[in-house]
Amino acid sequence: MVQKIRIIDAKDHVDEEVKIGVWLTDKRSSGKISFLQLRDGSAFFQGVVVKSQVSEEVFETAKGLHQENSFYVTGVIHEDSRSHFGYEIEVSDIEVVCESEGYPITPKEHGVDFLLDNRHLWLRSKRPFAIMQIRNEMIRATYEFFNQEGFIKIDPPILTGSAPEGTTELFHIEYFDNDAYLSQSGQLYMEAGAQAFGKVFSFGPVFRAEKSKTRRHLTEFWMIEPEMAFTNQAESLEVQEKYIAYLVQSVIDNCEYPLHLLDRDIETLKKYTKLPYPRLSYDDAIKMLQAAGYETKWGDDFGAPEETYISDQFEQPVFVMNYPKAIKPFYMKPDPTRDDVYLCADLLAPEGYGEIIGGSERETDYETLKQQIQAAGLDEKEYEWYLDLRRYGSTPHSGFGLGFERAITWICHLDHLREAIPFPRMINRIYP
């Protein structure tokens, strides 16, 4: 019996006869030889069918294959120094599984709207393949990192009655006779988790009714939200930079082939594994922008151009620290040395990718937090449970949220977040 393998394991089967389930991505034939471009879900590679080596029937079958036909190939694995992947199969037999005629995504260039309409098929192409491999590695590395650091994973609810990040971007749903919302952040629940388990992290989908069409916003995206008891903001920043460097290093170590498919420069990525990352106060960021001719005033939030300008002044990701209270949510702890800023930071990615992390130290004092809830115009009743965390054994604690697709978009060097998630959801897209 010929062994069934996946081509990613080819190095263990050189010069052996194997069987692989594949799809055809492209083909070139002459009278004497057919070159089949194949994928088996684990890599893209070539199959060679030589007329003089196979039966008439096999050669004719090869010539008649269409793009995305599924079939089994049987043959001998050879090293192939001309392709980056490094292996090919010399085909001796073909067993067709399913026909495919008129596959819409041909090897020519297609517009992105067409590709998104066909996302269920587009996922088969090289570029989405490479991005999803890197996404998967970042998922793996995230679990590994936080487990090594002694965190446990806690899953916050997705159906919620409260709005930690402000009420404008909520998806409202009917919940029997009540109102509910899709979670925009699990943070408040992670704070409960931190007081129970010390160090916790979540990794799940969050939802924001983003009405703007930008390259940086999805309506459904994934967030990693660690939360740590007995931890101040400075200590939290150290965890953040260590985590980001770990993600980048894991992708460098384990995604050489996907990075090659995306043409991503590894030397650039290596710069992001050097710690510490620079820290810049919001005040100094404003001065930096004003010196460069921006009209930004103290108290303004940064838009994409400001974030890009700031990050362009650094070789690594940069923490912008201590933003004005008015532009950040109610749960943050004010700077004890001054009244107008919070102990918080956003991490801006290099190469113009903007904010990938938002985090802060949390307010721990019952009365102050209650006032901040009132001042934010929120319904105190809905935050009774959250205030309980300050009634019973409150501790200094800090946490952060990494926007997962933002991080992927930066590490893969993509133009738009929509390519960083298998099925993107945006204001004008909920199909397929």
Q: Which residue is nearest to Mg ion (CB)?
A: 358
Residue 186 or 358 having the CB closest to Mg ion = 358
**Least distance to ligand 4AD from the beta carbon of 94, Å?**
44
Q: CA 324, CA 310: separation in Å to the nearest integer? A: 17
Residue 75 or 401 having the CB closest to Mg ion = 401
Handedness of CA 158, 160, 164, 166 (dihedral sign): positive
Q: Does position 164 bind Mg ion by CB under 5 A?
A: no
Q: Does position 358 bind Mg ion by CB under 5 A?
A: yes
Residue 386 DSSP code:
H
**Least distance to ligand 4AD from the beta carbon of 366, Å?**
20
Q: Which of 209, 206, 202 is nearest to 167 (CA)?
A: 209
Residue 75 or 164 having the CB closest to ligand 4AD = 164
Using the contact rule CB under 5 A, the part of the chain among 209-217, 222-230, 273-281, 358-366 near Mg ion is 358-366
Using the contact rule CB under 5 A, the part of the chain among 34-42, 198-206, 354-362, 421-429 near Mg ion is 354-362
Strands (E), 32-138: 33-39, 44-50, 70-79, 87-98
Q: Which residues bind ligand 4AD (CB under 6 A)?
A: 164-165, 185, 187, 208, 210, 217-218, 221, 223, 225, 355-359, 399-401, 403, 405-406, 417
Tell me how long the chain is: 432
The strand order across the sheet containing 220-229 reads 152-153, 199-207, 220-229, 397-403, 354-361, 344-349, 318-321, 279-281
**Least distance to Mg ion from the beta carbon of 359, Å?**
9
Residue 267 has, within 13 A of its CA and on its CB side, a CA count of 0
Residue 87 or 331 having the CB closest to ligand 4AD = 331
Q: CA 201, CA 402: separation in Å to the nearest integer? A: 11
Residue 87 or 330 having the CB closest to Mg ion = 330
Residues 6+ apart with CB under 8 A from 153: 143, 146, 200, 201, 202, 203
241 binds, among ligand 4AD, Mg ion, none (CB under 5 to 8 A by kind): none
Residue 3 or 214 having the CB closest to Mg ion = 214
Cα-flanking dihedrals φ and ψ of residue 66, to 5°?
Answer: -110, 165
| Binding site residues, Mg ion, CB under 5 A | 358
